[in-house]
Amino acid sequence: MIMNNASDDIYKKKLGARILSEANDLKRNIQALAADLGMDEELVQRAVNGEESLEVQYSIVEKMGETYPIDHTDMYIPVDDCTDGVKIMRAEESKRSSRVFNRKNSRGAPTPFYEYRDTAMSVHSPFRPEWIKELRVVDDDDPENPDVVYNKGHFMHQLTFFIGPVNFYYDVFGKKACAQMNTGDSNYITPFHPHTFTSRDTEQDAIIIAVTFGGDVRQSQKELYALGEKGERFVLDVRNPRRAQAQRIEQCMQAANISKECLQGQGINPDEVLGGGELLGADTLAKLAELLRVDPVELRIPAYREEEEVVVRYGSKESGYLYPSEQESVYRIFPLAQTYKLPFVRGFRYHVMTDQRTGAAVLEHQLHSYLYNYGDIPIMLHWNNGDEWYAECIEPNDSAYVQPFTKYAFTNTEGEGSLIEIRIPGKVGSATIRELSTFADPARAIKETTCWYDQK
Ligand SMILES: [Fe+2]
């Protein structure tokens, strides 16, 4: 059960609207809903209006789960744990979450390998960012060094920022490699590729900020688990693009009840489109797409980029760019590792060149933002969630979360400072944005306010 502040009227109105939306989907007006649940109609109406206690609202949600074939857990809306769109985690609080885990060394003895600390995250944030100190020190960059213990890979994508002399090891389908990283460098790791990190120096701190996050697959996890092995049939062989294209065409044909014979009847050779060889040309794709009544983009398979299984970016050797322009520069920005697979996952390192919150310094976008001060001096974070501007000092090792569409800006204090930001899309991905935008009244998809028909 998600805990909420009972006095939160805004939250109760949202949950009431969500109940109304679900009832509309089930084609139940309030009277029919109350009758089905064996509850008083006026009580249900007040709960939908957000005028009853959370306990009453929750009991309606639970009863709906018992009464209808729905996944009622989807109706719970996590409470907003941010203050005006921002949540800050101080270095001290991070330190208190410290855990040290052992892994075996070359002699088989379990010795400290990592110290983990939590950093800023919110109930709404799609990321789980950890501060991780490398405690195993090595004196070479041999990926087969027996002191180097790889993990098994994990479900979440990972974007990592490096601080100090860190060795990064990765294993892509049995091929191991080591990259010597330094402050300012970064990487991206595709889910389930084994990887690990060590220190190259007993005298210096070797730290990573490991931002793990779930993409669209994370949003679909419930259904994939429910489907079990059948879920594997969604998977395209993207490392073999021609085969992936044939699989995708077949998926679309099956969904549309279009047989090979139908293709043939329309002058398309099924052996050609479902066979091997070269990727299909634009003309064939357009013809197929028309027959299947899908946008051609559905049948297009992105080029396979082997170098993006794991991306290593030596940002420490880059000079960055001035934002927004050379003439009016408020930030020097150094982009972190990127992948075409996740075009809206963006990381940056900032040097803050202004002490004024000018319009040029203000950032605003649709992504969830994670901030971490990896330097020695504070940086001011300003944000605006309506009319008013707020400001907090982000001290060294402090971190923060900023909600989508919150305006924010950085100003410097004693110097340009050292700040990283990692931006991740939430549950509202590209496909959702496109679909929502086609609705006749998108606002009602965000907060349902009415029965689906006029009851007067
Ligand atoms: Fe990891």
User: Which of the four pLDDT bands, split at 50, 70 and 90, describes residue 2?
Assistant: very low
Ligand 1 centroid – CA 196 distance (Å): 7
What DSSP line would sit under 385-423, residue for residue?
A: SSS-EEEEEE-TT-EEEE-TT-EEEEEESSSS--EEEEE
CA dist., res. 420 & res. 19, Å (int): 40
Whether the ω angle into residue 110 lies within 30 degrees of 0, i.e. cis, is no
Query: Which tokens belong to 445?
Result: 């998809």
Asked whether residue 6 carries a pLDDT value surpassing 50, the answer given is no
User: Which of the four pLDDT bands, split at 50, 70 and 90, describes residue 36?
Assistant: very high
Ligand 1 centroid – CA 186 distance (Å): 13
Residue range 322-342, pLDDT digits in tens = 999 999 999 999 999 999 999
Buried b (16+ CB within 10 A) or exposed e, 99-136: eeeebebeeeeeeebbeebbbbbbebbbbbbbbbbbbb
What DSSP line would sit under 285-308, residue for residue?
A: HHHHHHHHTS-GGGG--PPP-GGG
Ligand 1 centroid – CA 356 distance (Å): 38
Q: Mean pLDDT of all residues in the chain?
A: 94
Of 214 and 309, which is predicted with more confidence? 309
Sequence-ordered list of residues with C-beta below 8 angstroms from that of 80, at least 6 positions apart, any chain: 11, 123, 124
Asked whether residue 3 carries a pLDDT value surpassing 70, the answer given is no
Name the β-bridge partners of 314: none
Ligand 1 centroid – CA 195 distance (Å): 7
Ligand 1 centroid – CA 36 distance (Å): 48
Residue range 132-168, pLDDT digits in tens = 999 999 999 999 999 999 999 999 999 999 999 999 9
For residue 19, the tally of other CB atoms under 10 A from its CB is 23
User: Which of the four pLDDT bands, split at 50, 70 and 90, describes residue 197?
Assistant: very high
User: Which of the four pLDDT bands, split at 50, 70 and 90, describes residue 1?
Assistant: very low
Asked whether residue 301 carries a pLDDT value surpassing 90, the answer given is no
Ligand 1 centroid – CA 212 distance (Å): 7
User: Tell me, what's the pLDDT at 4?
Assistant: 44
User: Which of the four pLDDT bands, split at 50, 70 and 90, describes residue 279?
Assistant: confident
CA dist., res. 214 & res. 429, Å (int): 12
CA dist., res. 174 & res. 451, Å (int): 57
Ligand 1 centroid – CA 218 distance (Å): 16
Query: Which tokens belong to 105?
Result: 């060394």
pLDDT above 90 covers a percentage of the chain that reads 83
Task: Give, for 435, the enclosing helix (H) or strand (E).
Answer: helix 430-437
Sequence-ordered list of residues with C-beta below 8 angstroms from that of 286, at least 6 positions apart, any chain: 296
In this structure, are residues 442 and 370 in contact, taking their beta carbons and an 8 Å threshold?
no
Query: Which tokens belong to 39?
Result: 């509850």
Ligand 1 centroid – CA 153 distance (Å): 7
Ligand 1 centroid – CA 194 distance (Å): 8
Sequence-ordered list of residues with C-beta below 8 angstroms from that of 430, at least 6 positions apart, any chain: 344
Residue range 366-419, pLDDT digits in tens = 999 999 999 999 999 999 988 899 999 999 999 999 999 999 999 998 999 999
Ligand 1 centroid – CA 190 distance (Å): 10
CA distances from 438 to 298, 435, 452 (A): 18, 5, 18
Three-class SS of 196-259? EEEECCCCCCCEEEEEEECCHHHHCHHHHHHHHHHHHHHCCCCCCHHHHHHHHHHHHHHHCCCC
Region 29-45: mean pLDDT is 97
Ligand 1 centroid – CA 301 distance (Å): 28
The order of strands in the sheet holding 389-394 is 389-394, 379-384, 407-412
Ligand 1 centroid – CA 229 distance (Å): 25
